[in-house]
Amino acid sequence: MSDSALTTAPVALDPTFENVWDELLWRGLVHVSTDQEALRALLAGDPITYYCGFDPTAPSLHLGNLVQLLTLRRIQLAGHKPLGLVGGSTGLIGDPRPTAERTLNTRETVEEWVRRLRAQVERFLSFEGENAARMVNNLDWTAPMSAIDFLREIGKHYRVGTMLKKDAVAARLNSDAGISYTEFSYQILQGMDFLELYRSYDCVLQTGGSDQWGNLTSGTDLIHRVEGVSAHAIGTPLITNSDGTKFGKSEGNAVWLDPEMCSPYRMYQFWLSTADADVIERLKVFTFLTRAEIEEYAALVESEPFRRAAQKRLALEVCATVHGAEATAAVIAASDALFGQGDLNELDAATLRSALDELPNATMPAGASVVEALVATGLVTSASEARRAIAQGGVSLDGEKVADDESTVRGTLPGGVSVLRRGKKTLAGVFIG
C-alpha cells in the first residue's frame, strides 16, 4: 500500500494482547470452539499448522469468506503455518444448504473456479518465511481413491445416527426437499480432508464459519478415532446486522471480492453505509486497527455520529485490503468528486464508470437534451418537471450549473460519460452511445 498516500493500519497483531487467542476473542471471532484452554495454550506455544477450506461453489469469494481469510492471516501473524484449501472435490458436491439441493456444476466449471478462488486466497496470506503459507486442493487425495477404499477406510468410522444430528442435515431432513446421499456424505469428505492434512502436514486446527460446525467436528472426531489424538476447531460467528438482516448482501446480491463482480466503488459504498450500531464490531472483525484505535472510533460514534468517521475508516481499510491502495484512492476520489468535493475531469475513467453504474443511469445519444436525460435517468418524472428544475437553478451537468433547457449532454467526462445532479445529493449517470 506504499504506492498510495492513503494511511491504513499495518497488517499486524495488536501488541496489547498477550496471545492471539485473546485477540480473536476480543474481536468476536470465536462463536464456538473445541476446548478453549487447550486452544489458548496451543496458539501460545510452538508453531502449529492450521487450515481453512473454501469450496468453489461460485467464481468468487464474498464478504463472509473474508472473515475466514482475515482470521487465517491473524493466526499466521502469531507465527503459525496456514494451509489454504480450495475444494476441488468438495466443490463438485457442495455442502448442504438449509432448504434445497445445490445444482451440480460441471467439472470444467469447478476447475476454473478453483483457479480463481486459489488466486484470491493467496492474496491474503504470506508465502515467505518460516511459517510460509501453502495452498492445497482436496481433489489431489480424493480423486485417486476408489469408492470401496473410501467406504472401508473412512466411511466405517462414521455413525449414521450422529450424521443425522448435524444441523445442516437435520434442517434438510425436515424440509420438503429432503437430502440426497451425495450432500449427506459431504461431512465425511470434509472430515477426510482434516485427517489427510493431519497426516501430511501435522495440521491440528481448522477454522470456519459456525454454520459449518458439524463439518468441522467431523474432522476432529475422525482424527481422534483413527489417530487417537486431539485436533481442534474454531467456528467464527455468522455476521449479521443489528437489525437482524443478513450481512454481506447489497440489493439482494452478495458483495463479492472479485472486482469484476463487485466494483471497488460498490464495495466502498457498502462499508460506508454501515449503521452506527454495527460499525465498531465491523472494525474489530474486518480491520487490523488496534483496540485503542477502535475505542477512539467508538467514542466518535457516540459524540459525533454525523461525521461518520468510523464508517469512513472501515470503508478505507476493507477496500484497501481487498482491492489495494491504488484502486481505493481512485474510489475515494470518485466518491468525493461526485458529491462536489473534487474535480470530475481528473477521475480515472474505469472508476467513474463503475461509480455511475451504481447510480440511476441511462444511455443517451450524443447531443441529447438535458431535459431528456433528466427524465430517462429518473431524476424527474416529466419534461415539464425537468424544465422547472432547470429554471430554478437546481440542475448541474458535469459539475456545472445548467443555464437553460436547451443544454445538451455530450459525455465530456473521462470515459465519455456525464454526471447529472438535481439538488445537492441526487445524482445520475449518462452513458453516451
Residue 5's pLDDT is 53
With cell 485417486, the residue in question is 144
What average pLDDT values come out for the chain (433 residues) when binned by 10 residues? 65 97 98 97 98 96 96 98 97 84 91 98 97 98 95 94 87 85 92 98 97 94 97 95 75 83 94 96 98 98 97 98 96 90 90 92 94 96 95 93 91 94 91 90
pLDDT score, position 2: 34
Q: Is 186 annotated as a binding residue?
A: yes
pLDDT given for residue 173 in this prediction = 86
- What are all long-range contacts of 17-23, with beta carbons under 8 Å and residues at least 24 apart? 17/291, 18/44, 19/43, 19/44, 19/78, 20/44, 20/74, 20/75, 20/77, 20/78, 23/74
How far apart, in Å, are the Cα atoms of 364 and each of 158, 367, 382, 396, 416?
Answer: 63, 8, 17, 17, 11
Q: Report the C-alpha gap between 208 and 191 in whole angstroms.
A: 13
Say if residue 181 carries a ligand binding annotation: no
Domains of the chain: 31-238 (3.40.50.620), 240-355 (1.10.240.10), 359-433 (3.10.290.10)
